[in-house]
Chains A and B, each alone.
Chain A
Amino acid sequence: MNLLDIFKRRSSAPVARERLQVLLAYERRNRSQPDLVSILREEIMAVIAKHVQIDQDYLQVSMDRGETMSTLEIDIQIPNKSAVPMAMAG
């Protein structure tokens, strides 16, 4: 086990190369397309704004990508007292 650890530590470059290749393949694919998360964010914001007034900061959109599927996480905080966020937004 110890020997294996030493071996692993010594050749970290192949790991770096592989991680980069996977990551960059993904990033290059998405480069030509507009940023999906920010488009979703804007459109979700527009839908909410029709009914409730919230500040930009109260909406969190994030994409967690996996091998076979990705998860879209949307976190919207709607304050109970509308006066508070309005004042902060101003």
Chain B
Amino acid sequence: MGKVVVVTSGKGGVGKTTSTAALGAAVAKTGKKVALVDFDVGLRNLDLIMGAERRVVFDLVNVIQGTAKLSQALIRDKRVETLFLLPASQTRDKDALTEEGVGEVIDKLRSVFDYVFCDSPAGIERGAQLAMRFADEAVIVTNPEVSSVRDSDRIIGLLDARTMKAEQGEHIAKHVLVTRYDAARAARGEMLSIDDVLEILSVPLLGIIPESQDVLRASNLGSPVTLSEPLNSAARAYLDAARRLEGEELPVIVPFERKGFLDRLLGRRAA
């Protein structure tokens, strides 16, 4: 039985889709079978980040409504053969997803894949709640910034109340992934520190992804940063986060404020 991981945040634009792609690709590179499911019905983007936008024929809604088989809708990645994408539909409305339908699709995916990553839409409405509904674990993507942290707190509340696991009295494992971390700004006291974020949310840290031009470049090229530039600092942070997600105990190193030689040296030692 595979593990279902929801990648969620509440707030939009913090890096859910980028993180889903980067973490999923990192896990798949180790040989695990990974499915990435885009839950953002109407505003899909995971296909674009994965560089599969021209290969979408069927989507999640088709599968739920029975007009396509799951095997027809899954798109195999061209770079990593154990990596698959189930896109969201672009045109149909959000009500096209039913809880029962999503549950069936997740069950099927769980029986075939080692990991199922659910890329949640922003917000706390139905779409976001369906994305987290059947999850075993949650990655909460947070920027070190007040509105993002507040929304993450809301999402943590929902994870503890509205997921299947929570309703059955079980524990849903939660991890915070801090993205767009600017070490220089944090050092100047302009940005919430990692300690601040962890203390406020009291959820264990999965990783710190430094702000990086390469993440944007990877998106432009349609490739997860962990595949296109695995040596980049953001990619290495994602690769480490993926290893922690798989249960490895790996210390998190807070990005150093001085960039350049020393930073690289420290970064390499961490990897």
B190→A28 contact, CB < 8 A: no
The number of chain A residues with a CB under 8 A from chain B is 15
| Contact across chains for A16 and B146 when beta carbons are under 8 A apart | yes
Question: Is A52 in the interface zone, CB < 8 Å from B?
Answer: no
Contact for B153 among A10, A11, A16, A24, CB less than 8 A: A24
Give Cα A16–Cα B147 distance, bound, in whole angstroms.
Answer: 10
Chain A positions within 8 Å of B, measured between CB atoms, are 10-14, 16-17, 19-21, 23-24, 27-28, 31
B146–A19 CB distance below 8 A: yes
Q: Are A20 and B200 in contact (CB under 8 A)?
A: yes
**Are A17 and B157 also in contact (CB < 8 A) when A10-B189, A10-B190, A11-B189 are?**
no
Number of chain B residues close to chain A: CB under 8 A = 16
Expressed in whole angstroms, the Cα–Cα distance for A51 and B148 within the complex equals: 45
**Are B200 and A21 in contact, CB atoms less than 8 angstroms apart?**
yes
Interface of A is mostly: helix
Most A C-beta atoms less than 10 A away, residue of B145, B150, B189, B192: B189
Residues of B contacting A20 with CB < 8 Å? 146, 149-150, 192, 200
Q: How far is the CA of A10 from the CA of B187 in the complex (A)?
A: 10
The 23 sampled A-B contact pairs (Cβ below 8 Å) are: A10-B190, A11-B189, A12-B189, A13-B186, A13-B189, A13-B190, A13-B193, A13-B196, A16-B146, A16-B196, A17-B196, A19-B146, A20-B149, A20-B192, A20-B200, A23-B150, A24-B150, A24-B200, A27-B150, A27-B153, A28-B153, A28-B157, A31-B157
Q: What's the nearest-Cβ distance from chain B to residue A71, in Å?
A: 23
State the Cβ distance, A22 to closest chain B Cβ, in Å: 11
- Is B254's CB within 8 Å of the partner chain A? no
Q: How far is the CA of A24 from the CA of B200 in the complex (A)?
A: 8
Min C-beta distance of A57 to chain B, whole Å: 22
Chain B's nearest CB lies how many Å from the CB of A58? 26
> Complex: how many Å from CA A20 to CA B196?
10
